[in-house]
A and B are shown apart, each in its own frame.
Chain A
Amino acid sequence: AQKITQTQPGMFVQEKEAVTLDCTYDTSDPSYGLFWYKQPSSGEMIFLIYQGSYDQQNATEGRYSLNFQKARKSANLVISASQLGDSAMYFCAMRDYGGSGTYKYIFGTGTRLKVLA
C-alpha cells in the first residue's frame, strides 16, 4: 500500500543554519510525484516544492531543495539558512495513482520545525 513516513515529530534548528526533514515513501507505481507543504501556526497549507519520479535532477525552490534518492525511496526536504519564519509544521506528500484513471494524494504525519534565534 502507498505510504508516506516522516519519522521526526519535532526538530530544532539554529537560525541561519541548514536543516533536513526526512521523508520516505512506498509505492509500486513507477510514476508518482512528491511534494512538501508548510503549515504555519495560522493553519494554511503552503506548497513548497515538487519532485517527479522521472526527474533526473533534485528540485530546488529558493532556500528549499529536495534530496531525492529514488532507490532508497526517500525525498528529504533541505532548508538552507533557516529563518524564524520557517518555524512551522512540514508535511511530505505523494501523488499516487488511485486506479481507474484517478489520482490521490497521501500525506505523512508531519514534522514540527522550530527555528531558534
Chain B
Amino acid sequence: NAGVTQTPKFRVLKTGQSMTLLCAQDMNHEYMYWYRQDPGMGLRLIHYSVGEGTTAKGEVPDGYNVSRLKKQNFLLGLESAAPSQTSVYFCASTIHPQTGPSSYEQYFGPGTRLTVT
C-alpha cells in the first residue's frame, strides 16, 4: 500500500515552460486535492476533485489546470510557469467526507518542490 505518491519530487522550470505534476493514490479515495505551501502562508487549496471526471476551483486556482480522468490519479498542470509559482506542492486524498463521528482526515503525498527561474 503506497498511499499517496507524487511525481516528480523536485523540478526546476524556466519561466514560460509547462509541466504536469502527477498524484496517485491506491486507497480508492473519492476526494483529491492539490495545495501549495509557501513560507508564512500555510497550505492553500489550488483545485480539488470530488470524484472521477470532476474538478473544482479552490482558493488560488489561477495559472493551474487539473484533470481527474481516473479515480486514482489527479494531475496538476502549469501551462506557462511563472516565478510566483515557485512553491512546494502537496497532493492529498480522502474518502467521501460526511457528517458523523469519523474524521475523514486527509492523506498527504510527500510533496513536490518546484522552482521557476
Contact = CB atoms under 8 A, between A and B. Distances in A.
Interface string B60-99: 0000000000000000000000000000101010000101
Given A95-B97, A102-B56, A103-B97, A43 B45 contact: no
A91 B111 contact: no
Contact of A106 (B31, B41, B45, B97): B45
Contacts of B42: 4, 6, 91, 107-110
Given A43-B110, A91-B42, A105-B33, A52 B48 contact: no
Contact of B108 (A44, A98, A101, A109): A44
A104 B88 contact: no
Contacts of B103: 33, 35, 50, 52
Interface in B29-75: 31, 33, 35, 40-45, 48, 50, 56, 58
B115 interface: no
Interface of B: 31, 33, 35, 40-45, 48, 50, 56, 58, 88, 90, 92, 97, 99-101, 103-108, 110-111
24 contacts: A9-B40, A33-B103, A35-B105, A43-B88, A43-B110, A45-B108, A50-B103, A50-B105, A52-B100, A52-B101, A55-B101, A93-B43, A95-B104, A98-B56, A101-B50, A102-B48, A103-B104, A104-B45, A105-B45, A106-B45, A107-B35, A107-B44, A109-B41, A109-B42
